[in-house]
Amino acid sequence: MILGYTRVSKGEEQNPALQRKALKEAMVERVFEEKASGARWDRPELQRLMDQLRPGDVVVVWKLDRLSRSLKDLLILMERIDKAGAGFRSLTESIDTTTPAGRMMMQMVGAFAEFEREMIRERTQAGLQAARAEGRTGGRPPKLTKSVLILRIARVAEGTTAGDFNFTS
């Protein structure tokens, strides 16, 4: 059986229609669709797909990064697919692990995908460090002012309970 997997990142305005169309043209018989980050391991539809693999099945994705964002996770998934006696195809990268050349190509593309992700991480960290050097910090602003926090600590030290005073002043 030819099984497809689509994924779009959660929280982003992405639509899996392009992936669905490509899988339909590839004669995929059943599609497992997910809305989650590719960096996460706990993706229920992916796990359901992996649990249903049988010898002779082929897992098809539109693009390699739809399956996984790290080489380590990709290799784990590929090993599970292989142990199930199934094959793997990525339509965009023209990878087909039912052939030796396809297996080699998948490993090379996976390495480049991980390299790209690490480069993005480095650029992000450099940007954050530059912002900190300029005095900007990320994150949510503190809810309590320093004076309110000091007042609360003093009241707790006096033995005043939370119900005895207003939390906002």
Query: For residue 167, what are the contacts with CB-CB under 8 A and spacing of at least 6?
Result: 152
Query: 9, 68, 70, 147: which one is catalytic?
Result: 9
Please state whether the predicted TM-score (pTM) of the whole model is above 0.95.
no
- Residues 7 and 34 sit within 8 Å (Cβ to Cβ): yes
Q: Which helix (H) or strand (E) holds 57?
A: none
> What mean pLDDT, rounded, does the chain reach?
84
2 bridge partner residues: 58
Is the pLDDT reported for residue 49 higher than 60? yes
Is the pLDDT reported for residue 167 higher than 60? no
Instruction: Give yes or no: 9 in active site.
Output: yes
State which CATH number among 3.40.50.300, 3.30.70.260, 3.40.50.1390, 3.40.47.10 fits the domain covering 2-117.
3.40.50.1390
For CATH 3.40.50.1390, list the domain ranges present in the chain. Answer: 2-117
pLDDT confidence tier of residue 162, bands split at 50, 70 and 90: low
